[in-house]
Amino acid sequence: MSTTTIRLTDELKARVAAAAEHADTTPHNFILQAIAEKTLQEELCNDFNEEAEKRYAKIIATGETIPWHEMRRYLESHLTAGSHQTRPVARKLGC
């Protein structure tokens, strides 16, 4: 395990200490949790963006997509208990 030094303003250090006390943990553990949460958030955001880029590239390559009004209707009906609507199929725009 390595050691990293961070410099905190007195104000931030006090806020971390207060938040850590409120969370019933140490400032050190609070900081580690915050770093882990922020890291996970960035990783998930990157994964989301990569998936969006892949899907957009597929739309561009094939010209096939599902109109939003159809997908929205499907999603709304999917949330309704007992509703079994057929999933819309991607097709070329304008068709």
Contacts of 26 (CB under 8 A, 6+ apart): 20
* pLDDT tier, 82 (very low <50, low <70, confident <90, very high otherwise): low
Residue 80, pLDDT score: 82
Q: Where are the domains of the chain?
A: 9-62, 64-94
Q: Are 70 and 95 in contact (CB under 8 A)?
A: no
* pLDDT tier, 60 (very low <50, low <70, confident <90, very high otherwise): very high
